[in-house]
Amino acid sequence: MFLILICCFYWITECIPLYVTSLMPIFALPAMQILSSERTCQNYFKDTLAMFLGSLIVASAIEYCNLHKRLALKTILLVGCSPRRLHIGLICVTSFISMWISNSATTAMMCPIVKAVLQELETNQVLEIWMPEDKEPPIEGKKHPSRISMAFYFGIAYASTIGGCGTLIGTGTNLTFKGLFEGRFPDATDKIDFPHFLGWAMPMVVVDTVLLFLSLQITHLGLGRPDSPTAQEVSRGAQAAATVRAAVMEKYSELGPMSRHECQVLFWFMAMIALLFTRSPGFMPGWADFFNAVEIKTSGAVMLTVVALFLFPMTCFYWAHLKPKGPYPTQRERALLTWDFVHNHVPWGLVFLLGGGFALADASQESGMAKLLGEAMSGLVSWPDFAIQVAAVSSGIFLTNFSANVPICNILIPILQELAVAIKMNPIMLVFPAGIATSMAFHLPVGTPPNAIVAGYAGIKSKYMAEAGILPTIFTLLMLLVNVQTMHYLIYPSREFPIWAKTY
């Protein structure tokens, strides 16, 4: 408990980098005679972490070939280029892309697109994208975005957060609570795998994305107040849709036709999704069920895709060399992905961050601290299940607004697992919604990387983000609780305390 408190303090205050704090268990746990060095280090590269690292590498391949930009710009052209249509188009495409690549990369990619769109609107004197200087004086010569501009920036930041909750590989917290759950209950029949996660979270993500658009339209774009100055300004903006469309079309044309490089990356990305979904879906035999001599988990499908990205060449010229008499290639062809790009663009430190949490969770179980906490909270046995779920989800959302998501998940989920065992509640009923809740940070830049990226990129003050995050926090909390009472029992029907949890 002392070590966990030290790590929590360091994670929250960031007196040293988050990733460095996550290395403390490697020397502290053996020195305190809790876990051996071998067992401690094994927690830093479990199956869940290999899957996470592989998904980051696949995401970097999508960035490397600019497939994400093509998808974003094409969607904007299909949706329309009036201010309201642009807004929903940017939100929807950001939410979708964030399901498959990291939230940070998605937000960083969308910020320049938003800036270009807003500048085009300002150039044509359609919208005022800066606040008056008497209301918000420039800081170091940089003006503050108007409420309309903030609606676009908040839209992509919050959509990245919401979209990341849609798939198992969408954000680090999803794989964190999956790894913590599997480490605590290795014999669990309730599996947190790709198809179960997708079925649980996707309906909620779709509804949350629509509600995000509506909430920002109401608070920042004058929806429902047609006589307000903001609403009238947005209405005038609709008249310049053709001009904005021409600007977006110009950016899209700069990408040129879809290359063989993009086609091959798209193919391997879709193959990875198919392999993850069909590994062992539960409602039918999966491909992993045919190789039943040893257990095959999710990391195999992801790493197969990673190897393919480095194995196959960027172009298809090699077909011309498949002849017995040549001609033969005179130089090595570039692969679909290069190691230099991966080395510079993959956030390797996240692996240590997740691994440190897994090591602390393993140590809390081995030392008896987890059992101690569970027994201390056994008084909650008289509470209804729904009340405990409300408390768990609310705690996750509240805490994650003040610190990074993954450390909060590492702190909260082990406590909730022991609480579930102590009060004889199915652990998946607490772990799943609370794990998702630790991603829902909308109020402060420190809460999650997308918030920090848009705040720094656009120069948005924290007070405006705190205000904008009120409605998203409310509806994401409500939707999580609705999902717990609906989709959860379709995916995980059992409400009884399971046999696999009684043995621990």
pLDDT the model gives residue 240:
65
Closest CA to 275 of 58, 35, 30: 58
Backbone angles phi, psi at 493, to 5 degrees: -65, -30
CB atoms within 10 A of CB 284: 8
Q: Closest by alpha carbon to 337, among 148, 121, 54?
A: 54
Angle (nearest 5°) at CA 41 between 422 and 295: 70
CA distances from 101 to 63, 273, 434 (A): 9, 12, 22
Parts of the chain with a pLDDT under 70: 12, 72, 80-81, 105, 120-121, 123-127, 133-134, 136, 138-141, 232-234, 236-241, 280-284, 292-293, 316-324, 326-331, 370, 374, 377-379, 403-404, 446, 501-504
Helices (H) and strands (E) in the chain, counts: 26, 0
Contact 95, 207 (CB under 8 A): no
Short-list 454, 442, 451, CA closest to 115: 454
Label residue 326 exposed, middle or buried (CB < 10 Å: 0-12, 13-18, 19+): exposed
DSSP-H helix ranges across 103-259: 103-123, 147-164, 172-184, 194-220, 229-238, 241-254
Give 409-426 pLDDT, tens digit per residue.
877 888 888 888 888 888
Peptide bond into 229 cis (omega under 30): no
Mean pLDDT of the chain: 79
Note the residue count of the chain. 504
Amino acid occupying residue 504: Y
Question: 350-363 pLDDT, tens per residue?
Answer: 778 778 877 887 78
Q: How far apart are CA 152 and CA 119, in angstroms?
A: 12
Nearest to 234 by CA among 87, 35, 434: 87
pLDDT at 397: 86
CB neighbour list of residue 66: distance below 8 Å, 6 or more residues apart: 255, 262
